[in-house]
A and B are shown apart, each in its own frame.
Chain A
């Protein structure tokens, strides 16, 4: 650490070779601040860019989000076991809320994910969310992008309803929103448009039986009235485990039906804009004519550009250093 940030290019090469043990060092790098760390992170992302890989990274980036207390971590624990049973390697990026006052955080989510410590194909990293509840830690986008070229599955777990699944949707190939029976607020958020329509809606606590089935029916009705027939509503339970393999299938099915290249191009554009906004704030966005205008402009850029290139393009456009 005293020796300065790790060599991003070399870490990228390790990931390209499928070296899962590089994951911790990758996270240490992308979480680091400072000019040198940023340069190395850019080198890392360049080393795992579509150009370097001759295509999109093969790993499946899954967003798992939902209100606190619905059992996301327990569900994730079962999902990780199911993926491992299919011999797929899994990286989990757990984003925990942090304390606004002290800047510190208590990261305990990994405890709820059962794993064998000798199994190096499961990597779990907890990250503090930063300032906003439900927001993504700045490093999480870079981490997900990088790890998806070495791990079969990369999960981004966030807390919240509303803002968070929008942000996760910018990074993930497939977003699963987890709710429990009787959480009417989610239904309201969906109807009022506060919450974007997820790819997969997971109703937990299926062991509650009727209650869970009614929640499923309510959600399906609401989705239909919103004109969405593509969202899969999946009902699952952790104890006793039920519906987990169906959920795995539903996630895979969504991913299979996806224009992956298009989704990843969008993801890189949003990543570049998020980095830009984090650096230059509202003033920076105004220099681009506002967020919407920036998004529109980005959508016209070359889809092959990596995050760093897109960001530099934004800086050029705003005539910022």
Chain B
């Protein structure tokens, strides 16, 4: 009989968080304190897009985005309000912040000073991973070189002054959201970590590299294929240990331990029959907790209704309860690693390690992760395309979406609010007024001096940006001022879209579509031309990229300029390019403000007659309003058949131009 293998003592559970924050600091603080009362053990701050990309609430690009996907934080006063009555010497706070990570960390340090807590006592994480912003998430602000320097500076600073802080969370999470296969997710995350470590190596004393290595943590995704996903984490732990030993000569075993937090997959969550997402989330949570040797340090779970809109506090509570059931009711934490000696798990792990090594070698050949951004972006667009084709063909089953679609009406979405959070539209106006008041109430000479010093330090790559950043935070500089100062020194940047090099689709089922495009183009006199635009600050471009690539594969001329365009820019492009149709994509919830602006700009530019279709996470009540305003069609995540969408576009253009693209009888 095998001996029982109980642990002598039940393991302590992972840190439980909920990715939360909306509107302003006061409302988010109330939400955090309620969440902590419910048994959440750490904070995970969601910032709005203007804060993430370095704009104040009253900036033109912030329009429609203030307080939407997270909380708006414009200065240290906001940060103090956000953390009011939360003891920062005990709290462990994760901040999803990247381009402006150095700034938000500075605000956090200053807020702690006000609580009488020394920076050396602070615990938490700044996400601070810029490469994945170029690859997937889109909230970058500066070009790659200066961005890597900011990351290296925050790491160098925290290793010395905030030793319990995780200055960077290398994110494989968003790579999976952008379509990465497990091998790509591992390889690109590791390559990214190498780029960061190499950059830091030049900025810290050699004897601190072990500590630096030990402070690097990862932010990982877990999809519903939970066995393979678990193997992925074991593979990452193995590669990370190797990297520490071989490339950075890290001697201390504890420094080489693979530490990671998780937000499980949102890509696979469906709008159709959204209640099924609860099961998906539970299985994904198992992927990152089942085996003790590769268990997550911190976990946050999405809400069941993410594909519908912003989750409400109750939705988030439901996800927290799942974590608590898993940690406190089940026997999961009573055993050593349950996969030890499993041939299947070891085999899977070896397979993934092998694939990842090959892909890492390729990235290294291209000169490392920073130089390989274009390559990785194209590879992700390609993987995402392949996944989507499998969903369309039925090779990949998504229950309730491409199979088992028949359903009873859901009582969960029958509420008056449609089962989502709606941010008070007054928030944006209030935030604009508040930041203006803040600017007029502070010592502006001190702010000017601090920003001048910041500009000087930014221009001198041999200095660390953090002390000047903290000084600017103390005297009341704003998020937008900090970022603009750096933009002036570093320059602006547009990341590659990845669609230019996308491989043309195998032609099987596109032949009929291409014939239709040809016929319509012939009737129009020139090739059907389609503008795909992403207005506003939302950087989630995966959907827009897939639409652009499919339209190209269907034979259209597609104009796609990437993310973060103003309505005026989109209208200008539409007019100059002479497009026949415009598709706009917004996932951040700012459609109600931005789409009508685009329509007005199009009319001003003399192309108000060009039909506009919209895609995004758009509740039906908003969709109706958009159609009323002149939008020809609204698509949401339940519209997964891209070819059907292409046929709609062809029909729409034909109808608006009074020409026929139907096949000859």
One digit per residue, 1 when the CB lies within 8 angstroms of any chain B CB and 0 when it does not, for chain A 1-32 equals 11001000000000000000101110110011
Residue of A nearest to B609 (CB): A1
Q: If A28-B578, A118-B568, A125-B578 touch, does A99 touch B559 (CB 8 Å cutoff)? A: no
- Say if the beta carbon of A123 comes within 8 Å of chain B: yes
Q: Specify which of B514, B524, B572, B573 lies most central, judged by the most chain A CB atoms within 10 Å of its CB.
A: B572
Q: State the CA gap A123–B507 with chains docked (Å).
A: 35
- Say if the beta carbon of B552 comes within 8 Å of chain A: yes
Q: State the CA gap A114–B569 with chains docked (Å).
A: 10
Which residues of chain B are near A106, meaning CB under 8 Å?
499-500, 502, 548-549, 552, 558, 560
- Say if the beta carbon of B265 comes within 8 Å of chain A: no
Checking A34, A104, A112 against B557 with a beta-carbon cut-off of 8 angstroms, the contacting residue is: A104
Q: Specify which of B562, B571, B573 lies most central, judged by the most chain A CB atoms within 10 Å of its CB.
A: B573
Residue of B nearest to A21 (CB): B606
Checking A102, A111, A118 against B554 with a beta-carbon cut-off of 8 angstroms, the contacting residue is: A102
Q: Specify which of A27, A104, A126 lies most central, judged by the most chain B CB atoms within 10 Å of its CB.
A: A104
Checking B492, B514, B552, B562 against A105 with a beta-carbon cut-off of 8 angstroms, the contacting residue is: B552
Residue of A nearest to B514 (CB): A102
Q: Is A102 touching B525 in the complex (CB atoms < 8 A)?
A: no
Checking A21, A108, A117, A118 against B559 with a beta-carbon cut-off of 8 angstroms, the contacting residue is: A108
For the A-B complex, the count of residue pairs with Cβ-Cβ distances under 8 Å equals: 112
Q: Is B524 touching A1 in the complex (CB atoms < 8 A)?
A: yes
Find residues 231-259 in chain A having any chain B CB closer than 8 Å to their own CB: 239
Q: State the CA gap A51–B204 with chains docked (Å).
A: 71
Q: Is B551 touching A117 in the complex (CB atoms < 8 A)?
A: no
Residue of A nearest to B659 (CB): A2
Q: Is B552 touching A23 in the complex (CB atoms < 8 A)?
A: no
- Say if the beta carbon of A215 comes within 8 Å of chain B: no
- Say if the beta carbon of A186 comes within 8 Å of chain B: no
Q: Is A102 touching B504 in the complex (CB atoms < 8 A)?
A: yes
Residue of A nearest to B567 (CB): A117
Q: State the CA gap A24–B529 with chains docked (Å).
A: 13
Q: Is B554 touching A108 in the complex (CB atoms < 8 A)?
A: no
- Say if the beta carbon of A107 comes within 8 Å of chain B: yes
One digit per residue, 1 when the CB lies within 8 angstroms of any chain A CB and 0 when it does not, for chain B 495-520 equals 00101101011010010001001100
Q: Is B526 touching A33 in the complex (CB atoms < 8 A)?
A: yes
- The contact size tier of chain B is 35 or more
- Say if the beta carbon of B494 comes within 8 Å of chain A: yes
Q: State the CA gap A185–B345 with chains docked (Å).
A: 49
Checking A32, A102, A108 against B510 with a beta-carbon cut-off of 8 angstroms, the contacting residue is: A102
Q: Specify which of B549, B557, B561 lies most central, judged by the most chain A CB atoms within 10 Å of its CB.
A: B557
Q: Is A126 touching B577 in the complex (CB atoms < 8 A)?
A: yes
Q: State the CA gap A37–B554 with chains docked (Å).
A: 25
- Say if the beta carbon of B159 comes within 8 Å of chain A: no
Query: Chain B nearest CB: distance from A3 CB in Å?
Result: 9
Which residues of chain B are near A117, meaning CB under 8 Å?
566, 568-569, 571-572
- Say if the beta carbon of B65 comes within 8 Å of chain A: no
Residue of A nearest to B653 (CB): A1
Residue of B nearest to A127 (CB): B557
Q: Is B526 touching A32 in the complex (CB atoms < 8 A)?
A: yes
Q: State the CA gap A99–B558 with chains docked (Å).
A: 11
- Say if the beta carbon of A128 comes within 8 Å of chain B: yes
Q: Is B576 touching A23 in the complex (CB atoms < 8 A)?
A: yes
Which residues of chain B are near A1, meaning CB under 8 Å?
524-525, 580, 657
Query: Chain B nearest CB: distance from A71 CB in Å?
Result: 12
Which residues of chain A are near B560, meaning CB under 8 Å?
106-108, 111
Q: Is A239 touching B494 in the complex (CB atoms < 8 A)?
A: no
Q: State the CA gap A105–B578 with chains docked (Å).
A: 15
Q: If A117-B569, A126-B577 touch, does A34 touch B500 (CB 8 Å cutoff)? A: no
Q: Is B497 touching A111 in the complex (CB atoms < 8 A)?
A: yes
- Say if the beta carbon of A172 comes within 8 Å of chain B: no
Q: Is B491 touching A123 in the complex (CB atoms < 8 A)?
A: no
Q: Is A24 touching B559 in the complex (CB atoms < 8 A)?
A: no
Query: Chain B nearest CB: distance from A127 CB in Å?
Result: 8
Find residues 564-590 in chain B having any chain A CB closer than 8 Å to their own CB: 566, 568-569, 571-573, 575-578, 580
- Say if the beta carbon of A110 comes within 8 Å of chain B: yes
Q: Is B525 touching A107 in the complex (CB atoms < 8 A)?
A: no
Q: Specify which of B548, B561, B571 lies most central, judged by the most chain A CB atoms within 10 Å of its CB.
A: B561
Q: Is A239 touching B491 in the complex (CB atoms < 8 A)?
A: yes
Q: State the CA gap A313–B580 with chains docked (Å).
A: 36
Q: Is B562 touching A99 in the complex (CB atoms < 8 A)?
A: no
Residue of A nearest to B569 (CB): A117
Residue of B nearest to A101 (CB): B504
Q: Is A128 touching B527 in the complex (CB atoms < 8 A)?
A: yes
Query: Chain A nearest CB: distance from B223 CB in Å?
Result: 28
Q: State the CA gap A104–B568 with chains docked (Å).
A: 26
Which residues of chain B are near A128, meaning CB under 8 Å?
527, 557
- Say if the beta carbon of A124 comes within 8 Å of chain B: yes
- Say if the beta carbon of A103 comes within 8 Å of chain B: yes
Q: Specify which of A1, A106, A112 lies most central, judged by the most chain B CB atoms within 10 Å of its CB.
A: A106
Residue of B nearest to A34 (CB): B525
Which residues of chain B are near A105, meaning CB under 8 Å?
552, 557-558
Q: State the CA gap A297–B568 with chains docked (Å).
A: 50
Q: State the CA gap A237–B517 with chains docked (Å).
A: 42
- Say if the beta carbon of B349 comes within 8 Å of chain A: no
Q: Is B575 touching A24 in the complex (CB atoms < 8 A)?
A: yes
Q: If A105-B558, A106-B499, A108-B500 touch, does A239 touch B552 (CB 8 Å cutoff)? A: no
One digit per residue, 1 when the CB lies within 8 angstroms of any chain B CB and 0 when it does not, for chain A 88-111 equals 000000000011011111111011
Q: Is B562 touching A108 in the complex (CB atoms < 8 A)?
A: yes
Q: If A24-B578, A102-B554, A112-B494 touch, does A107 touch B559 (CB 8 Å cutoff)? A: yes
Q: State the CA gap A123–B573 with chains docked (Å).
A: 9
Can you list 9 contacts pairing A with B, beta carbon distance less than 8 Å?
A1-B580, A23-B576, A25-B578, A102-B553, A103-B514, A104-B554, A108-B497, A111-B560, A128-B527
New contact pairs (16) apart from A33-B522, A106-B548, CB-CB < 8 Å: A1-B525, A2-B657, A24-B575, A25-B578, A32-B525, A99-B552, A104-B552, A104-B558, A105-B557, A107-B557, A107-B560, A108-B562, A111-B497, A118-B568, A126-B559, A128-B557
Closest 7 CB pairs of A and B: A111-B561, A2-B658, A32-B525, A117-B572, A117-B568, A104-B552, A104-B555
